[in-house]
Amino acid sequence: MAHSSVFSQPWLQTHYSHRSSPSPSPSSSSRCMLGRHDAKSVHFDLRTRRQFTSFMLKFSAGFSFIATHHAALAAEIKKAKKVYTNLEEAREAGEKLREERDTAEGPIIILPSGVKFRELEPGTGRRVSLGDIVSVQYIIYKMNGLYLDSLGYGKEGKDDVGETLTFQFGKNLVPKAVELGMEGMQLGGRRRILVRPQLGWVNGDILPHPTSSAAQRRMLNNLKQPLLFEVELVKILPA
- H or E element at residue 138: strand 133-142
- State whether 142 and 49 are in the same domain: no
How confident is the model at residue 159, as a pLDDT?
95
Tell me phi and psi for residue 74, to 5 degrees. -60, -40
How confident is the model at residue 74, as a pLDDT?
67
Tens digits of residue pLDDT in 120-161 = 999 999 999 999 999 999 999 999 999 999 999 999 999 999
CATH of the domain at 165: 3.10.50.40
Distance CA 176, CA 199 (A): 5
Mean per-residue pLDDT of the chain: 81
Do the domain assignments include residue 62? no
- State whether 49 and 140 are in the same domain: no
How confident is the model at residue 142, as a pLDDT?
96
pLDDT of 97 above 90: no
How confident is the model at residue 62, as a pLDDT?
60
Overall number of domains in the chain = 2
pLDDT band at 228 (very low <50, low <70, confident <90, very high): very high
Do the domain assignments include residue 210? yes
Over the range 65-104, which residues count as b (16 or more CB within 10 Å of their CB) and which as e?
eeeeeeeeeeeeeeeeeeeeeeeeeeeeeeeeeeeeeeee
- State whether 48 and 158 are in the same domain: no
- State whether 215 and 116 are in the same domain: yes
- State whether 121 and 197 are in the same domain: yes
Range of the domain at 203: 111-237
Average pLDDT over residues 168-188: 97
- State whether 121 and 8 are in the same domain: no
- State whether 131 and 48 are in the same domain: no
- State whether 137 and 233 are in the same domain: yes
Do the domain assignments include residue 137? yes
How confident is the model at residue 122, as a pLDDT?
94
Do the domain assignments include residue 82? no
pLDDT band at 7 (very low <50, low <70, confident <90, very high): very low
- State whether 50 and 130 are in the same domain: no
- State whether 115 and 232 are in the same domain: yes
How confident is the model at residue 231, as a pLDDT?
98
How confident is the model at residue 105, as a pLDDT?
78
Tens digits of residue pLDDT in 58-74 = 666 665 656 666 666 66
Do the domain assignments include residue 106? no
- Whether the link from the prior residue into 208 is cis, omega within 30° of 0, is yes
